[in-house]
Structure 1
Amino acid sequence: MRNVIPQDSTPYFLKADCGPKFFIASQSCSPLTLARNTNNAFALSIIAGIGSQESFPSFPQARTENESGPFPHGKQIKLASHSLFRVIEGKVRFTVGATTEETVTAGESVMVPAGTGFNYVITSAYARLYVFSGKGGGLEEVFVRLGREGVKGEVVGENQDAAVSEEKVAGVLQALGGEVV
């Protein structure tokens, strides 16, 4: 199969701007491989997003920091899988647990163990990051289940995508073995 992520663990190739892309608020998630493709061993995705209009007025998508991505206003999520985030470009402020907050820039990583609450906010005009998820439902599954599937060539910020309600996020997280905290 070429340019499509299959439903199982058969080999595939993805050329540039091929494969699925899912949009929530001012972020997109482009899975490179999903857990179903690796017999639930891991998943790998690229998340892209834009900063808030408060900080970057020419970007109309996220009016405030808390309207970006799959995180309910002022809340964290816990996932059933370990997650490693690696910033490719831009700046992203991560909050992990109740007390750890750090701004992560290009080339830096954040490891979030399974069952640990976290959220992140894109603090630059634009950012991209890899997300590696271990066994269990990772952040990519939240985007897949809640996001709007994009079309070939679509980029983040091009369309006005709504934030997702806390109830919907909580429902998906519960199905994946996680929760909103």
Structure 2
Amino acid sequence: MSRSIPTLSAPPGKSSAPYKLPCFTGELWTIPTSKSTMRLLVTGNETNNAFAVIGTGGTFDSPIGFHYHREAHDVFLCIKGSLNVWANDVARTLGPGDFASVPPATVHQYQIASSHTEFVGLVIPGGWEAFTSLTPVLQFFRFVGEPFDGPLFPTHDERSPYEVLIPKLIAAAENFDMIPVRDKQSFGPQPWDGTESTLPGVCENGGYFLKADSGPKFIAGGTIVRPLATRKESGGKFSVYCIDSSKLHHGKGLEGEMFTFEKTHHVIQVLEGLVRVVIDGDDAVVGSMETIFVPATKSWRCEAESVYAKYYIFANGGGIGEVLTTVGRSFEWSVVPEAADVATWDYKALKDSELELGFVIA
């Protein structure tokens, strides 16, 4: 009999342990005087500093201030509400499903721009966001932040930022990979102009924006996969994929095999519907805004548990998203197909890609 994958309220702080986090949980921190909460979903401790995944919720607030990182690569995936993101001299207002990639050395900032905004970010490398066993110092969020125990985010912090925040930011700039750019002139978000519908295929200063439901799409069995960032856009470091699937297509795609990635960790966040994840024989059903961590070396699979399910997969490296795009075929639509459009995937192509993509199937 299978056991349930542990459901926790915060990351466990150790590697090689799968876990599930319910909606709006995680290790919770707020930056003083801000109106937002950062939820550490996966940290460097769980991924051996490969990457970290952070959820943020908040309400209308000022921009955080222009800065850049020497090493850290940020991404912004809007889940709810709206979010302004600046990257060098380009700025866009992100709505649900919109995406921004901000590589190292890109001058950027963000601003929460609605009454309730939720977005998910991935940070490379993973030791930047919090205390880790490999970097035994108090890292950025724990350094500048304060623990939060409310339901969503603070709204009544009337303290002066010059007293409780600015000194911390100055100290953080001296110790961490966050370099302020105080002389950059402010400007407003610009309209989307139609250039945000393709992936650039390279990782370069300035990054890129990607409109929701745009970019390349692939079908593998009954699973639709859309890359938001591949290894090409991240300098080989990470990937982000959007998956749409249905239990009505069970047995025709992703759920048919158990995958083991020797070096690649996966983080799955469900947006809509239900997804069943099986890891080394243990399982969990993951619902809307819930997160599950799949460590490298574990044998696992996932499948839609509802008529429709939409979820995002973050990975260091290409991971399962790269596998799906490799064995799948180009697809026109953004939604789960009707039965007539579904064919089982090419098992030989799947086996042939094992060595190249760094996985094995049971």
Q: TM-score category by the smaller chain? A: 0.7 to 0.9
Helix, strand or coil at the partner of 1:37: coil
1:167 is aligned, of 330, 348, 353, to 348
* Alpha-carbon distance between aligned partners in 2 of 1:70 and 1:169, rounded to the nearest angstrom: 11
* Mapped pair 1:70 → 2:266: no
Tell me, yes or no, if structure 1 residue 155 matches structure 2 residue 335: yes
Amino acid at match of 2:226: S
Contact 1:8-1:36 at 8 Å conserved across structures: yes
Stretches of structure 1 that go unaligned for 5 or more consecutive residues are 53-61
Question: Which residue does 1:3 correspond to in 2?
Answer: 197
| Matching of residue 94 in structure 1 with residue 290 in structure 2 | no
- Work out the CA distance in 2 between the residues paired with 1:34 and 1:84: 15
Alignment of 1:44 onto 2:240: yes
Letter in 1 for 2:271: I
Aligned partner letter, 1:27: T
Match of 1:15 among 185, 206, 211: 211
Give the whole-Å Cα distance in 1 for the aligned partners of 2:198 and 2:337.
24
> C-alpha distance in 2, partners of 1:16/1:46?
10
CA contact (8 A) 2:327 2:346 kept: no
The answer to whether the 8 A contact 2:269-2:290 is kept is yes
Asked if the contact 1:4–1:12 (Cα under 8 Å) also holds between the matched residues in 2, the reply is no
Q: SS of the residue aligned with 2:210?
A: coil
Structure 2: runs of 5 or more not aligned: 1-194
Q: Determine if the alignment matches structure 1 residue 29 to structure 2 residue 213.
A: no
Query: TM-score, normalised to structure 1's length?
Result: 0.82
Q: Deviations over 1:123-177 (max 9, x none)?
A: 1000001100113x311111221111122x4422146131114332222222111
Query: Which residue in the other structure is 1:128 paired with?
Result: 310
Alpha carbons 2:254, 2:301 under 8 Å: kept:
no
Distance 1:145 1:132 in 2: 17
Q: Percent identity?
A: 27
Higher relative contact order (CA 8 A, sep 6+): 1
Aligned-partner SS, 2:208: coil
Distance 2:215 2:272 in 1: 21
The letter for the 2-side match of 1:66 is: G
Instruction: Provide Cα deviations, 1:57-89, integer angstroms capped at 9, x if missing partner.
Output: xxxxx2xx222x334x4x301124110001111
Do the aligned partners of 2:200 and 2:233 also contact (CA within 8 Å) in 1? yes
Structure possessing the higher radius of gyration over alpha carbons: 2
Q: Distance in 1 between matches of 2:219 and 2:360?
A: 21
